[in-house]
Amino acid sequence: MPESSETVTVIASGVQALVLNIGWIMTSIGCFMLFKKDGIKRIYAFIPGVREYHVAIMAEKEEEGRTYFILTVCYYLARYMSFLFENGSLMKTFWLVIAASIGVAEFVYGIRIFKSLCYVFEKSRKWTVLWAFFPSLTSLIWGVSKNFVPNHRTIVDADFDKAAKISKTSVEAIQSGITVNLTERTVTNFGKKYYLLKDIHLSIPTGHMVLLLGGSGAGKTTFLNAVTGYEKADAEIILRGKDLYNNYDSMKYDLGFVPQQDLMRLNDTVYYTLSDAARLRLPKTISTEKRTKRINEVLDKFGLGSVRNSQVGKLSGGQRKRLSIALELISDPTLFILDEPDSGLDGVVARNLFESLRKIADEGKIVIVITHTPDRVIDLFDDVMVLAKDAARTGRLAYYGPINDSYDFFGKKSMEEVLLSINQKDEGGEGRADEFVEKYSEMIS
């Protein structure tokens, strides 16, 4: 009897292994053909983890795909560990429980990805269930059948041939202001190189207030991070005649970046918040009297004197925004950048805020502002910088120059119209980004 029992166990294990292997082969073949339809390298279909990640890419769920990849690798590792121990041993059970737990998480992420895959292939969401429970068979059907075609090709969408040509026109550095010669800004994700920005060359003199305009994903924040040196690019940034990247440790105090959110400790007082910022950002050689004087100056400048002893959390939205700006202005930086400072503020408060920024620019600073409602304050700006996504989905410079000239350049009457003209068609725009990138490139060369 024990012998026949062992035989049954061996046969059962063999059948299980066979089913698993056949399933793996079917999934690989299915994904091989699916990847062909979507322009993804077909070899990835045979690499565990990488295959799942690319299925997520195909489903336009890259972030989930990364987690899915990690979970898949961990699942295989836990399964492998379980094979190292004897059947029925505590450690084998332990690793199987770990594998099962990871499997649950993998299943949930799989559902998210497969649901999105149905959307991309314009198929009923019911297919999600089949993908979740019978991935081998489902991937094979989707791969072989001509009825399953994605509504766009993930890779071909980034069309490098149609993208505007690179101008390679560097600008000469100016002594009084900032000069940006950015060749490219790339990120590498899971072994793949992505171009976020390319070919941006411009100089902004001191005393100028510049509007940074661009659609969603055009690379506005990426550009600002590159200019400030927070995330370095393949670029040369010259501020007041000095290379920012090479002298970052000393020059970072000459930069002021006001983020979109009011990132301050709500339970501290206005005065202490500003005082701590002053001690951090001002040279330590400055006397206490001078530092206190500077704090009081900034408080008065932004109308925060009356609330100096209030907790930050008790301030109104406008006051908080002004305090956030004051934190950066305390060190009197040459380059002052604001990411949507008017978000959440009503028209009058926003107007007052921009008038304060105008005054800062008039004091000989460079002020760069991102805003989604530029037309109500456009008279306060000197120049506009327009970033646009080209056909390869890379952020490019479509225009930089005086506000009034920009209307002629784009043939539009407002900044909102300019924005619409450069936005991609699938974003409701006119999709003329590449045209303007090339036109601007020709204009400056």
Q: Which is nearer to other proteins, 93 or 145 (CB)?
A: 93
Two tokens, residue 8: 């049954």
Q: Is 350 helix (H, G, I), strand (E, B) or coil?
A: helix
283 scored as a contact of other proteins (CB under 8 A):
yes
Query: Of 90, 188, 192, 288, which one interacts with other proteins (CB under 8 A)?
Result: 90
Residues in contact with other proteins, shown as a per-residue x/- string from 31 to 70 under the rule CB under 8 A: ----------------------------------------
**Shortest distance, CB of residue 220 to other proteins, whole angstroms?**
11
177 forms bridges with which residues in the sheet?
205
Q: Segment 314-373, which members bind other proteins (CB under 8 A)?
A: 328, 331-332
Among 272, 308, 438, 439, which residue sits at the site for other proteins (rule: CB under 8 A)?
A: 272
Choose one: 129-137, 194-202, 263-271, 430-438; the region binding other proteins (CB under 8 A). 263-271
The CB-of-384 to other proteins minimum distance in angstroms stands at 23
What's the token pair of residue 390?
């080209």
**Contact range with other proteins by CB under 8 A, out of 8-16, 104-112, 275-283, 374-382:** 275-283
Give the β-pairing of 395-402 and 234-239. unpaired
Which residues on adjacent β-strands are paired with residue 179? 203, 238
Is residue 299 involved in binding other proteins (CB under 8 A)? no
Assess 294 for contact with other proteins (CB under 8 A).
yes
- Give me the sheet containing 192-205, strands edge to edge: 242-243, 234-239, 177-189, 192-205, 395-402, 383-389, 209-214, 366-370, 335-339, 255-258
Q: Which of 8, 156, 280, 443 binds other proteins (CB under 8 A)?
A: 280
Radius of gyration over every alpha carbon of the chain, rounded to an integer in angstroms: 28
Coil, strand or helix: which one is 387? Answer: strand
Q: Select the span of 30-38, 145-153, 165-173, 228-236 touching other proteins (CB under 8 A).
A: 228-236
What is the distance between the alpha carbons of residues 179 and 173, in angstroms, rounded to a whole number? Answer: 5
Choice between 222 and 394, CB closer to other proteins: 222
CA 404-406-409 angle, to 5 degrees, is: 125
Residue nearer to other proteins on the CB measure, 45 or 295 = 295
Nearer to other proteins, 199 or 332 (CB): 332
- Pick from 10, 11, 17, 91 the residue near other proteins by CB under 8 A: 91
The answer to whether 281 contacts other proteins (rule: CB under 8 A) is yes
Minimum CB separation of residue 285 from other proteins in Å reads: 6
Do residues 264 and 323 touch, judged by C-beta distance below 8 A? yes
Which is nearer to other proteins, 128 or 221 (by Cβ)? Answer: 221
The single residue among 257, 336, 354, 440 that binds other proteins, judged by CB under 8 A, is 257
Specify whether the CB–CB gap between 339 and 260 falls below 8 A: yes
Among 67, 136, 206, 221, binds other proteins (CB under 8 A): 221
Nearer to other proteins, 310 or 373 (CB): 310
Q: How far apart are the first and last CA of the chain?
A: 89
Residue 251 makes contact with other proteins by CB under 8 A: yes
Helix axes 270-281, 288-301, angle to 10 degrees: 130
- Residue 438 engages other proteins in binding (rule: CB under 8 A): no
Output the DSSP codes for 180-207.
Answer: EEEEEEEEEETTEEEEEEEEEEEEEETT
| 284 makes contact with other proteins (CB under 8 A) | yes
- Under the binding rule (CB under 8 A), the answer on residue 165 touching other proteins is no
Comparison of 5 and 267: residue with beta carbon closer to other proteins = 267
Scanning 121-198, the segments in alpha helix (DSSP H) are 127-133, 135-144, 154-157
For residues 205 and 259, which CB has a smaller minimum distance to other proteins in the complex? Answer: 259
275 or 352: whose CB is closer to other proteins? 275
Q: Which of 249, 245, 254 is nearest to 227 (CA)?
A: 245
Q: For residue 116, give the nearest of 79, 189, 63 by alpha carbon.
A: 63
Distance CA 412, CA 141 (A): 50
List the beta strands (DSSP E) in 168-294.
177-189, 192-205, 209-214, 234-239, 242-243, 255-258
Query: Which parts of this chain interact with other proteins (CB under 8 A)?
Result: 90-91, 221, 228, 230-231, 247, 249-254, 257, 259, 261, 263-265, 267-268, 272, 276-277, 279-286, 294, 311, 328, 331-332
